[in-house]
Amino acid sequence: MSAAHRAEVAADLPRLIAGAGLTTAAAVDAGAVDLWLERERRTGARRATRHPRPLSLRTRNKWAKKLKAFGAWLDATGRAAANPFRRLTVANEAADPRHVRRAIPAAELLALLAAARGSTRVYRGLSGPDRAALYLAAAWTGLRADSLRALTPESFAAAGGVATAVTARAETTKGLKAHTVPLPADAGAWLGRWLAGKAPGRPVWAMTSYCDGDLAKVLRADLKAAGIPYRDATGAAFDFHALRGQCATLLVEAGVPPAVIQRILDHSDPRLTARYTRLSDRALADGVAKLPSLGPLGPPLGSEVGGPRRNGPPKRGRGAGRETKKPRETS
């Protein structure tokens, strides 16, 4: 669990416990908590907004999982005889999609980098080249925002002014282990030149305000400058976290084995890696085009020129074989 995730859990748990009216572990009724979670999801009552709206199943599940994890801690430390939240249900999130992300074509990704690099505006303390380097690092390494914001010049291994790899600090990863991702030569050369002006020991992306909402606003401005819509015709969005899925998609389309992609994204389960992959229709078409050729196989039976052949005599239709009546002669 990363430091940011621990802080999120620490902030949410008191609100969840108070909202559900919980006092002691022995008094917890999992069924009643389930009903409270569902009521909160439908009414959106916990939202600090003037116009509450229903919450997603994903948010409801996050609350339930946090309570379950809290209950497991109570059980493990002897503060409860058993996990009082173990029977909380987890809903099927696929039945309620809210924020579907997408990957963009490589040409659009390069256009985004070029638009940011050429920008003269400063957003949240980041210059145009700073933002281009941020998007490049996110899409070429798949590192999460928490890891990216903590990187310093010392996080990058370099040789001859070329960055060869980047290492995320252990406390910023979900597995709490340092994670190193190699960099391709051209991306490493670009980042190496950019890093030359950065102060040692300081975060290379020193945003004045560093939260996911700020990252989304910064990215939206550069998407607009590059002529790339934030949402496509299906409603799928390209936000900052989509750059992580972009990395997975680019690797899959390049033919990189799934096990290698899993290691790069630092996933514990290959099913998580599959969720991050968003292949385009062109990639699917290119994939099926690699299936074996039919070679000398002839045309389908019955498709020869001249129409299909019939085996045996033609079928007798209605009235076949009957004598045709001669017209009556009139005088």
Query: Domain end: 265, 286, 319, which one?
Result: 265
Look at residue 217 and tell me whether its pLDDT is greater than 60.
Answer: yes
**DSSP annotation string for 182-220:** E--HHHHHHHHHHHTTSPTTS-SS--SS-SHHHHHHHHH
Query: Domain end: 265, 281, 296, which one?
Result: 265
Identify which has the larger pLDDT, 136 or 305: 136
Which pLDDT belongs to residue 46? Answer: 54
Instruction: Indicate whether 110 and 259 sit together in one domain.
Output: yes
What's the pLDDT tens digit per position in 280-317?
Answer: 666 667 666 766 767 777 677 765 555 555 555 555 55
Q: Is the whole-model pTM more than 0.75?
A: no
Taking the C-alpha atoms of 251, 256, 259 and 264 in order, what is their torsion angle to the nearest 10 degrees? Answer: -40
As a whole number of angstroms, the distance between CA 171 and CA 208 comes to 22
Is 274 domain-assigned? no
List, in sequence order, the alpha helices (H) in 118-257. 128-141, 145-149, 185-195, 212-226, 242-253
Instruction: Indicate whether 47 and 142 sit together in one domain.
Output: no
For the chain, give the percent of residues with pLDDT over 70.
79
What's the pLDDT tens digit per position in 42-94?
Answer: 886 555 455 556 777 878 888 899 899 999 999 999 999 999 999 998 887 76
Is 172 domain-assigned? no
Instruction: Indicate whether 113 and 217 sit together in one domain.
Output: yes
Instruction: Indicate whether 23 and 138 sit together in one domain.
Output: no
Instruction: Indicate whether 30 and 132 sit together in one domain.
Output: no
Which pLDDT belongs to residue 23? Answer: 86
Instruction: Indicate whether 136 and 24 sit together in one domain.
Output: no
Q: What total of structural domains would you count in the chain?
A: 2
Identify which has the larger pLDDT, 4 or 197: 197
Instruction: Indicate whether 131 and 220 sit together in one domain.
Output: yes
Confidence at 39, pLDDT banded by 50, 70, 90 = confident
Query: Domain end: 28, 62, 95, which one?
Result: 95
Is 131 domain-assigned? yes
Which pLDDT belongs to residue 204? Answer: 95
Instruction: Indicate whether 133 and 88 sit together in one domain.
Output: no
Instruction: Indicate whether 67 and 127 sit together in one domain.
Output: no
- Residue pair 236/102 in contact by the 8 Å Cβ criterion: yes
Instruction: Indicate whether 79 and 212 sit together in one domain.
Output: no
As a whole number of angstroms, the distance between CA 268 and CA 143 comes to 14
What's the pLDDT tens digit per position in 157-210?
Answer: 999 999 999 999 999 998 889 999 999 999 999 999 999 989 999 999 987 655
Confidence at 150, pLDDT banded by 50, 70, 90 = very high
Q: Determine phi and psi for 36, rounding to 5 degrees.
A: -65, -45
Which pLDDT belongs to residue 291? Answer: 67
Is 191 domain-assigned? no
Is 189 domain-assigned? no
Which pLDDT belongs to residue 89? Answer: 87
As a whole number of angstroms, the distance between CA 246 and CA 219 comes to 14
Which pLDDT belongs to residue 57? Answer: 82
Confidence at 275, pLDDT banded by 50, 70, 90 = confident
Look at residue 3 and tell me whether its pLDDT is greater than 70.
Answer: no
Determine whether 19 is exposed, middle or buried from the number of CB atoms within 10 Å of its CB (0-12, 13-18, 19+): middle
Which pLDDT belongs to residue 100? Answer: 85
Range of the domain at 133: 106-150+203-265
Instruction: Indicate whether 77 and 127 sit together in one domain.
Output: no
Is 257 domain-assigned? yes
Is 27 domain-assigned? yes
The amino acid present at 13, given as its one-letter code, is: L
Is 215 domain-assigned? yes
Mean pLDDT of the chain: 83
Instruction: Indicate whether 47 and 68 sit together in one domain.
Output: yes
Look at residue 1 and tell me whether its pLDDT is greater than 60.
Answer: no
Look at residue 110 and tell me whether its pLDDT is greater than 80.
Answer: yes
Q: Which two tokens stand for residue 22?
A: 């919980």
Nearest to 149 by CA among 162, 168, 164: 168
